[in-house]
């Protein structure tokens, strides 16, 4: 018989897996049950009415959350010469070109966001099979392929979150920490959902946001009643 941790048993006593909770109540429940010995990440998942296999139904974007994410973001930048210097001064953790390609190809990926100047993309393209599955591939639509390296690095460091629909049509992201106030989490949720709404593709038909759930790193998911969220 599988042994269930006491904290999970306790959470199940307070959370109805089949109920759709008002957003404020959902946030409160998730925070109350985030009892791990570290500051758990609050994660939002949105099941969309799309089929990402079709190019006209892909959803992706970037949003600078009003209260940040609560985590330190490590940024890698593909750039040369003056742009490389700009990246370093802006606070990028790793800056390089061919040497950075070699590091990544060796399996050493020690960053959370990847930015590149347009001229570096033929080089970065070699890493598609490595960076793509990790949602790290620079893309103009998310502001990570740009000549404005300083602004891109500052946005990444300041709590900007990139999102992309997975094969099952789900978009998810860490939108804060359990230590955040309920108001801070709510503001971040609203900002993230508004960005997802704006990214609605032309090929999406019917109900766009089908299911929304909130959880913490070690906690149970709480379903949210979308009608209680006003952005």
Question: Residue 3: pLDDT band by 50, 70, 90 thresholds?
Answer: very low
Select the more confidently predicted residue: 15 or 65.
65
Is residue 96's pLDDT more than 70?
A: yes
Q: pLDDT tens-digit profile of 98-151?
A: 999 999 999 999 999 999 999 999 999 999 999 998 889 999 988 899 999 999
Question: Residue 9: pLDDT band by 50, 70, 90 thresholds?
Answer: low
pLDDT of residue 71: 85
pLDDT of residue 6: 60
Rounded to whole angstroms, the Cα distance separating 77 from 54 reads: 30
In which element (H, E) is residue 221 found? none
Q: Average pLDDT of 17-39? A: 93
Evaluate the CA torsion angle 177, 182, 188, 190 in order and state its sign: positive
């Amino acid at each position: 018989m599988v042994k269930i941790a006491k904290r999970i048993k306790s959470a199940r006593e307070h959370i109805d897996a089949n109920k759709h909770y008002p957003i404020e109540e959902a946030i409160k429940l998730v925070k109350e049950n985030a009892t791990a010995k570290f500051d758990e990440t609050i994660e939002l998942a949105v099941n969309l009415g799309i089929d990402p296999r079709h190019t006209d139904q892909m959803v992706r974007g970037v949003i600078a959350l009003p209260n940040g994410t609560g985590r330190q973001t490590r940024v890698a930048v593909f750039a040369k010469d003056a742009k490389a210097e700009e990246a370093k001064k802006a606070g990028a953790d790793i800056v390089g070109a061919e040497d950075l390609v070699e590091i990544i190809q060796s399996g050493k990926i020690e960053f959370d966001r990847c930015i590149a100047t347009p001229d570096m993309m033929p080089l970065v393209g070699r890493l598609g099979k490595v960076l793509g599955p990790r949602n790290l591939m620079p893309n103009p639509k998310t502001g990570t392929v740009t000549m404005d390296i300083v602004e891109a690095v500052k946005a990444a460091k300041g709590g900007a979150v990139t999102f992309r629909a997975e094969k099952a049509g789900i978009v998810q992201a860490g939108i804060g920490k359990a230590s955040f106030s309920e108001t801070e989490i709510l503001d971040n949720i609203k900002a993230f959902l508004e960005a997802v709404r704006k990214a609605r593709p032309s090929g999406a038909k019917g109900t766009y946001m089908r299911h929304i759930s909130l959880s913490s790193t070690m906690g149970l998911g709480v379903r949210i009643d979308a009608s209680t969220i006003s952005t």
